[in-house]
Structure 1
Amino acid sequence: MATVRGDDNRCEGKLMTGKAVRGLSRLRQDAGYTQESFVKAFAKEAARIGIAASVSVRQLRRWEGEAPPLPHPGQQIVLEAMFGVPLVEMGFDVPRHRVTVSAPVSDPGEVGRRTFVADAGALAAVALVPTRPGPRFGSADAARLRTRLDGLYKTDHTVGSVPAMTQADRIEGEIMGTLADASYTGRIGRELQTMLAELHGHRAWYGYDGGRIGQGRAACMEALAAAQLVDDSLLQVSVLETLVLLAIKGDRVWEAASAVENAYRIAVRAGAGHTVRLVIALRDANVTTHAGDLSGARRALSRAVNHQGRADADVEVPKWARFVGPFEIDYATADMYVRAQQPGRAVPFLRAAVRAMGDDLARNSTSYRVKLARVLLEAGEVEEACAEMTAVLDACGAIASPRLLGKIREFQRAAAGVDSVTARECGERIRGSVM
C-alpha cells in the first residue's frame, strides 16, 4: 500500500474521512472480539510482526468513541495488519503522510512501508464476514454443540467408549459440515476448530480403549495438528497424555517417553496448574513402570503426590484433567509393585483406589475392580479375588468397553490355572456373562 504524496492536490493537511466506511468498533465485533480479548489479540499481533506497540481497554474505548485520537505509527501498523484495511477506513482523521492506499507491491514508483493486495474495503468484507451460502452459525449454535461435545466425557465414563464413539461420529459430521458450508465469524471459526481438535482427542482415547492402536495414534496426530493450529497448549498436553498410553500399548516406549517430555515442556511454557502437571507425572510413572525403571517410577509418583497436594490452588482445571485424583496415584503405585512382582504390596493401594473412585466414573471404577481381582489372584487370595470379580460382573452389564472386556477375559485365563472350585465357578460365570 503506497503512501499518498504531497503533489496530490486532493490531500491538504489531514485527509478528513467524514463518516467512516467501517468503524473500528464494527470491525472488532465482526472479527468476534470483545474489547478485552481485542487488547490481548493486539499484543499478540504486535509481537508476531515485531512492533513495540500496545493498547489498553481504556484507550480502545476512546478509539471507538466520538473524535477518536489518532493511534501512533506503531499502533497503526498493528491495526492495519489485524484488520486488513487502512487506518483511514477505521474512523480516524489521518494526516496525509500517514494515509495508506492500495498499490501493487511491484509498482516501479515509490512505494510506502505497507501494501495491501486488494481493495481494502472489499478485502475486509470478505475476510471478516464469510460469503458462503450456508446458514449463519452463531455463538448460541456453538454453545449447543459444545454441550454435546462435553457430554462425551460422561457417556464414556458411565457406559463406555463404544456408545461414545457413535455420538462422536455425529458431532464430527456437524462440525465438519459447519466449517465447510456455514457463515460464521473468525472467533466462532476458531472455536469450531478447537472443538474438532478435542473430538480427535476423544477418538484417540476410543482407539486406546478399543485396542485399535493404529487408529488411536492417527487420531492423536490429527488432534495435535489441530491443537497447534488454534495455538491451544493445554489441549496439546491432553493429546500427548493419550499418546503416552497408546505408545505404551504399542510397545513404543521411546515414543511414550518423548510424549511425556514434550508434555512437561509445553505445560511449563503455558504456566499449567498442578492438576495438569499431576496428569503428566502419572503418565511419566506409566512409562517408567512399563520400562522396568522402578527408581524412575518412584520419582514420578513423588512428583504426582507433590502436585496432588497443591492442586487445590488451581484456579481453573481443563475438563480433560478433572478425572484425576488421589485414586489415580494409588493405582499407579499398585502398578509399580505389580511390575516389581510384589502383588501383596499392590493390594492395599488398589483397595484404596477402588474405595475412592466416584460413582460418576463407572467405567474406570469397574476397570479398577478388575485389576484388584487380578492382583488378589496373583497374591493367592483366590476367594476374595473371585468375590471381587463376581461383583464386577453384576455391575458392568451396561458398560461397552473393549478394554474392560479384555481385562475380564485375562482374569478368566488366569483363574483357569488355579486349582480351586471357587476359581472354576468364577470362570464359568465369566464365560456365561461376557463370551
Structure 2
Amino acid sequence: MKELAQLRKAAGHTQETFVDAFAEEAARLGTDATISVRQLRRWEREDPPPLPHPGQQVVLEAMFGVPLAEMGFDVPPHRLTVSAPISDPGEVRRRTFVADAGILAAEAIVPARPGPRFGSADVACLRVRLDGLYRTDHTVGSMPAMMQADRIEREITGALTAASYTSRIGRELQTMLAELHGHRAWYGYDGGRIGQGRAACMEALAAAQLVDDPLLQVSVLETLVLLAIKAERVWEAVSAVEHAYRLAVGAGAGHTVHLVIALRDANVATHAGDLSGARRALSRAVNHQGCADTDSEVPKWARFVGPFEVDYATAEMYVRAEQPKRAVPFLRAAVRAMSGDLARNSASYRVKLAQVLLEAGEVEEACAEMAAVLDACGSIASPRLLDRIRGFQRAVGGIDSAIARECGERMRGSVT
C-alpha cells in the first residue's frame, strides 16, 4: 500500500522506528494499541490491506494528521473520519480534519522550507567538526576553539531554521546544538566569563532536555558545578551534583560517568572547606576509577578523565587544608600521568605544581617547573592558564633569592 509507506518514509521512519514511534504516540494518547513490524509490512504490502482496529486507527490518524481512508485503507462508513466542527452540538464526532487533508499532511511531515535538503552525510560532516573542538581546546586552548564553535553553531542553526530534513536528522541537529552550548559553557569557565558560561549552561540543559538525553545533561551539569563555584554559588553547585547523580543512576551510567560526578562533588566540598566530605567524594572516585575499565561505552565528554584527575583533586584538598607538602606528591603523579594530547591541561597542572612547590618552600624545583611550562605553552590561548601563570609570577616576585629573581625576569619577558 504505497500511501502508508510514503507517509512513513516522509516522516523519516524505517519500519522498525515507526513501530517504536507508534508505541510512544499510543502512550501519549492513553490508547491501548500496538503494532509489530510484521503487521506494518502487511499493511504496506497487501492489497487490500487488513483494516486497523479502532485503537490503531486513532494512533495512525494522530501520527500522520490524515484520515485512515487517505492512508489507502478500505474504511467502512461507520469508521470514516468526518470533516466537520467537533463543537457541533448535534452529535459527538470523532477527530476531524480539514477538507484538503493531503496537503496538510505533507506540510506537517516535511515542512516547506526554501533551503536545501539536509541529510545524514551533512550531519556526519558536522559531527566530525564538533568532535574536533575537544582536540582544539586541549591542544591550543579555548580561544581558537571558541572561534570554530561560532562557525559550527551558525551552520547548525541555519540548517534547523531553513533546511528540509527528517525528524531523525532534526533531533541529531538539536543534540549537536546542545553539545555546542556545553562547549561554550566550558569556554566561559576557561576564559573567566562566568556569566556567559552559566548562560550557555542553561541553554545546553534546555536543549538536552528537549532531546531527552540524560547523559548529555550530566555533561552540562559537571561544567555548571565549576562555574557555580567560581561565582560563589555553592548551593547551585551542590544541587547540580545531586541532580547529576540522579540522572546518571536513572540512565544506568557506567563508572566513568560516576567518576566525573564524584570529582565534581569533591570540588564542591573542597571549595566549601568540608574536608570530610571531600575525602568521601574522593573515596567514591577511587572506587569508580578502579572499575572504569569495565565500562562498555563511555561518552565523548567523559573520556578525558583518568587517575590523574583523582590525584589532582586530592592535591586540591590538601592545599585547601593548608598542607602543601602533602599535596606535592599527588600533583607530581598527576603531571606524570597526563596524556601528551592534553597540552593545555598538562601546562595548567604544572603551573599548579609550581605554585604548591613554592608554598612548600621548594623554590628551585618550582622555578624549574615554571620554566618547563613557559617552554611548552607558547601556542596555547587559554585565559585561565594565563591567569595561573600570572599568579605564580606575583608569588615568586615576593621571594628574595637569586633563583626566584631569575625566574621572575624570564616571566616578565614571556608573559604579556
Contact 1:244 1:257 in 2 (8 A): yes
Residue type matched to 1:51 in 2? T
1:358 matched residue in structure 2: 339
The 1:58/1:420 distance shift into structure 2, 3 A limit, reads farther
Q: CA deviation at 1:117?
A: 5.9
Structure 2 residue ranges without an equivalent (≥5): none
| 1:279 corresponds to | 260
Aligned partners of 1:305 and 1:256: how far apart in 2?
21
What's the CA shift for 1:92? 3.1
Tell me which residue corresponds to 2:295: 314
Query: 1:18-37 alignment to 2 at 5 Å?
Result: 22-23=3-4, 25-37=5-17
Would the aligned equivalents of 1:275 and 1:314 in 2 still touch at CA under 8 Å? yes
CA distance, structure 2, for counterparts of residue 432 and residue 117 of structure 1: 75
Matches within 5 A, 1:286-305: 286-305=267-286
Which region of structure 1 is more displaced relative to structure 2, 212-221 or 93-102?
A: 93-102
Deviates more, 1:76-85 or 1:247-256: 76-85
Aligned counterpart for 1:134 among listed residues 92, 102, 115? 115
Q: Choose 222-231 or 31-40, whichever is displaced more.
A: 31-40
The CA deviation at 1:127 is 1.2
Tell me the amino acid that sits aligned with residue 343 of structure 1: P
Conserved 8 A contact 2:86-2:94: no
Contact kept, 8 Å, 1:248 with 1:287, in 2: the verdict is yes
State the distance in 2 between where 1:292 and 1:335 align. Answer: 11
Residue 27 of structure 2: aligned partner: 47
Instruction: Give the TM-score taking structure 2 as reference length.
Output: 0.94
Q: Which deviates more, 288-297 or 420-429?
A: 420-429
Identity of aligned residues (%): 82
Alpha-carbon distance change, 95 to 353 in structure 1, aligned in 2, over 3 angstroms: farther
Partner Cα distance (1:373, 1:54) in 2: 64
> Retained in 2: the 8 A contact 1:393–1:433?
yes
The separation in 1 between residues aligned to 2:10 and 2:78, in whole angstroms, is 29
Residues 239 and 102 (structure 1 numbering): CA distance in 2 closer, same or farther, change over 3 Å?
farther
Superposed counterparts of 1:361-372, under 5 Å? 361-372=342-353
DSSP 3-state at the match of 1:358: coil
Deviation at 1:63, TM superposition (A): 3.3
**Partner residue, 1:59:** 39
Residue from 154, 158, 162 that aligns with 2:139: 158
Unaligned residue ranges in structure 1 (runs of 5+):
1-18
Aligned counterparts, 1:99-248, within 5 A: 99-116=80-97, 119-248=100-229
Contact 1:347–1:376 (Cα < 8 Å) also in 2: yes
After superposition, the Cα gap between the structure-2 partners of 1:75 and 1:256, relative to the gap in structure 1 and judged at 3 Å, is same
For 1:244, give the aligned amino acid.
V
Contact kept in structure 2, 1:104 and 1:117, CA below 8 Å: no
Matched length = 415
Give a deviation string over 1:154-187, Cα, whole Å, max 9, x none: 1111110000011111111111222222222222
CA RMSD of aligned residues (A): 1.8
Q: Output one character per residue of 1:58-114: Cα deviation in whole Å (capped at 9) or x when no partner.
A: 333333332443333333322222222223333333343333233323223323343
SS in 1 for 2:45: coil
* Contact in 2 for aligned 1:161/1:401 (Cα 8 Å): yes
How much has 1:403 moved relative to structure 2?
0.3
In the alignment, what sits opposite 2:62? 81
Separation in structure 2 between the aligned mates of residue 354 and residue 47 of structure 1, nearest angstrom: 52
Q: How far 1:225 moved relative to its partner?
A: 1.4
Deviation for aligned residue 1:426: 1.2
Residue 407 of structure 1 deviates from its aligned partner by: 0.6
Q: Which one is further off, 266-275 or 330-339?
A: 266-275
CA offsets 1:314-358 (integer angstroms, 9 cap, x no match): 222211111111111111111111111111111111111111111
Structure 1 contact 129–183 (Cα < 8 Å) conserved: yes
How far is 1:419 from its partner?
2.3
The 2-side partners of 1:39 and 1:349 are apart by 53
Amino acid corresponding to residue 32 of structure 1 in structure 2: G
CA gap of 1:70–1:309, structure 2 versus 1, over 3 A, is: farther
